[in-house]
Every structure is written in C-alpha cells, then in structure tokens.
Amino acid sequence: MERKRRVFMLAAIAGGAALSSTAFAQAKLDEKDPQAQALGYVADATKADKAKFPKYAAGQVCSNCTLYQASGACAIFGGKVVASKGWCSAYAKKAA
C-alpha cells in the first residue's frame, strides 16, 4: 500500500514538472516587439538594415554573439528566444 502511494506521488510530481516546463516554455522574440525594433532585430541576419546599422557585417549572427545563451534565449531581450541566424545592433562577437 505504501509503495503504491509513493509511486503515485512520484508520478504526480513528474506530471507537474512536465506541465510546468510546458507552461514556462520560453517565448520567441517577435521582430515587431518594440524593443526588438529599437535594436533592429531581424530573425534573418542578412535582412539587417545596413543603412540604419552600418556596424552590421556579414557573418554576424545570434549564435556567435556573446549574449546568445545555450537555450537560444538572448540576455538583452529578457530571455526571449531569438533565431540562431538572427541579428540585432547589440551584437557582440563571442570570444573564441
């Protein structure tokens, strides 16, 4: 009886953990987000506004930016997920 109860409790905990990880799945950054627009974020770095952001250089993408996290989130945008091939004017090359 005790064992059954323990198994039930573990299942309930595991279910709750699965539910909360879904509920807290990180939001994706929208290019139309006001902060994203202010920093010129684009999900496709090749579409960066080169006239407005002349510091953009080919090869600069989120995935090689120091602010890009392993989860795909960006520290600048409150942990929202950015495109690995994206870019914004806060780009800072990751140290090799």
Shortest gap between Cβ of 5 and ligand SF4 (angstroms)?
A: 47
For ligand SF4, which residue of 41, 44, 70, 79 counts as binding (CB under 6 A)?
Answer: 41
The mark string for 49-88 relative to ligand SF4 (x by CB under 6 A, - otherwise) is: -------------x--x-xx-----x-x-----x---xxx
Give the nearer residue to ligand SF4 in terms of CB position, either 22 or 71: 71
Residue 13 main-chain phi, psi, to 5 deg? -65, -45
- In this structure, are residues 60 and 67 in contact, taking their beta carbons and an 8 Å threshold? no
CA distances (Å), origin 29, targets 22, 60, 85? 17, 18, 13
